[in-house]
Chain A
Amino acid sequence: MGKKTDISAGIAAGGEYKEGFVTQVEQDFVPKGLSEDIIRTISARKGEPQWLLDFRLDAFRRWQKMTPPTWGHLQLPEIDFQDIIYYAAPKRDEDRPTEIDPALLETFDKLGIPLHEREVLAGVKPKSNVAVDAVFDSVSVATTFRKTLSEKGIIFCSFSEAVREHPDLVRRYLASVVPAGDNFYAALNSAVFSDGSFCYIPKGVKCPMDLSSYFRINASGTGQFERTLIVADEGSSLSYMEGCTAPMRDEHQLHAAVVEIIVEAGADVRYSTVQNWYPGDAEGRGGILNLVTKRGICRGEGSHLSWTQVETGSAITWKYPSTILKGDNSSSEFYSVAMTGNFQQADTGTKMIHLGKNTRSRIISKGISAGHSQNSYRGLVHIGPGADSARNYSQCDSLLIGSDCGAHTFPVIRSANPTATVEHEATTSKISEQQLFYCNQRGIPPEDAVALIIGGYAREVLQRLPMEFAVEAQKLLALSLEGAVG
């Protein structure tokens, strides 16, 4: 009897959130709380140069004077910033720092990330032709395919390593898109960021494989504050993927990341995210507070940046991947699917700031809300006085499943150039009864039918994702929908 209960509990947990396991790894913490001393400790532990410590302290001093933003359509629980551990690292054997802890490896295996280059190269897991930088709590544990990439002159490593090996590059680009005092959470990140990924693609180089960062929060009571910096030099191209998971816990955990992307003339960057942080349980307890600042700049002529995101996780999502279109003829796209269920809240969208001539942007946002969730699209399209012949098209659709959820659209369109054209449209509705009836009548059960219809509804976004991610995203959407129909 006892055994049977265990199995059913396992199935239930697996069905709800299969990444909800905790890895038993010995971890190295700094004490709880936030102060200049803590920041000095983090910086010292990472062996950082003085300029970076100064940057952190400056950000911290700014942050102390700031208040959390309240304009989001969100009910944020009060966050006690002194009750968070700002740095947690899996302990490493001093003598063998390159060896990955077997328990860690197992974690990433469970998540389906092949960290072992040897295995990949030996063809054991041939499906993956992706270089991965895996970040576990606060530190980057492994970066794969280093050799292949460095032959092309591509730098892809953990942020800490980049600070050591390429300080000039980091110093030149760090905070050039998201300044330290940009907003409350970005300032917090600038003060305490622990690790993240750094990527530099030299002039004219097409990155031969997709690059990927994998983030996982493991330790209890910690926050994750990673920082990603991507620089695509003139004429280069890159496809970058980001994925995230966390264990199931009753408490809220804070994730405040910053992503900065610099796209030089003629370069092309595609940034894809599948966000699957723990969303909290069915009663809305626990879950990740995902408060993220992502911004890219199309600096040079003809540069291009594309954001694709699939958001299914997190108790609260506050995230607006934005593009500053500075270079003439530059273009940007934002494709998003945000799915919320139970008591999840999402306030997400994009900002397209048109400054250069002939700049073009396109926004496609698909929101799906079920259960008691609240799902908002919030966006800004800004056409500056110099953005001659700029063009924007936005489409934001919302789908409601059940009568207790909410779907909202809050766009702002601002134009100061008479030669620019901006178009925005939004619709809100529920799944058509007719479509459902049609499927049912052909023997497709209601839940599968809904998954099918949602798949079609989100198709325009999903097909933008790199192959492997698209499969994962589709599964995630179907999984998140379970129990939402009835």
Chain B
Amino acid sequence: MDSLFVIGQDAVPGRFEALPGEPLRLTFVVLPGTSCAVETEILLARRGCEVDIAGLYLCDGDDRFSLKLNLRHDAGECRSRQLFKGMASGRSRALFDGRVYVGHGAQKTSALQENHSLLLSADALVESRPQLEIYADDVECSHGATVGSLDAQQQFYMQSRGIPREEAQRLQKISFLSPVLDRLPEALVNEVMACL
């Protein structure tokens, strides 16, 4: 199953269940002007499931966005990947709360979760809560989270080659989002680009 959700337009089910031999691929997009709290659960209850989730959220103005993702590995030999990229500007607030749960006996689990955020204004706030809760030993689980801003050295490099500052920043943002942008249809990519 491969599903795309534009938050604010598409309803997100409260629960997804992965099936063996049928990779579950989910993509979430949040465009500026969206204020909401999304909460969903992804279940890997049978052996040999594969889940690949990605998302990007662009928060601006007075947006309040929170995403709560509860991924449960209840059966062994499953694999999950999560990648979330967020940008907060204006006076917006963005919260990512992602939990990876590996139940007792869910051996040979491989779970990876990443959440990267760019904080682009002094009045915005970014919060990230990547969580691991693990009750099985033969597993490989990891998560990474970063919060930062656009790299000034990269900007300088581009400016010194004649790219105006604003364009340089735009390129930086595109490259930041590109792993998720690759998964989107062209029309939506254009819509995202127009917001940068």
Q: Which residues on A are within 8 Å of B, measured CB to CB?
A: 73, 383, 385, 398, 400-430
Contact = CB atoms under 8 A, between A and B. Distances in A.
Interface stretch (B5-13, B53-61, B127-135): B127-135
Interface stretch (B20-28, B116-124, B177-185): B116-124
Interface stretch (B37-45, B63-71, B139-147): B139-147
B129 A410 contact: yes
A424 B130 contact: yes
Contact of B149 (A398, A408, A419): A419
Which DSSP category, helix, strand, loop or mixed, fits chain A's interface?
strand
B107 interface: yes
A406 B121 CA distance: 39
A422 B146 contact: yes
B170 interface: no
Which DSSP category, helix, strand, loop or mixed, fits chain B's interface?
strand
Contacts of A73: 133
A408 B147 contact: no
A408 B131 contact: yes
B19 interface: no
A413 B142 contact: no
Interface in B154-182: none
Contacts of A403: 104-105, 107, 136-138
A255 to B, nearest CB: 27
B29 to A, nearest CB: 23
Nearest to B119: A418
Contacts of B117: 415
A402 B129 contact: no
A228 to B, nearest CB: 31
Nearest to B151: A421
A222 to B, nearest CB: 35
Q: Counting chain B CB atoms within 10 Å of each CB, which of A413, A418, A425 scores highest?
A: A418
A408 B103 CA distance: 12
Contacts of A401: 137
Given A400-B139, A407-B134, 9 more contacts: A405-B135, A406-B133, A413-B129, A413-B147, A416-B124, A418-B121, A418-B122, A420-B119, A424-B145
A446 B136 CA distance: 21
B134 A398 contact: yes
B116 to A, nearest CB: 10
B139 A416 contact: no
Given A414-B126, A421-B148, A424-B144, A408 B134 contact: yes
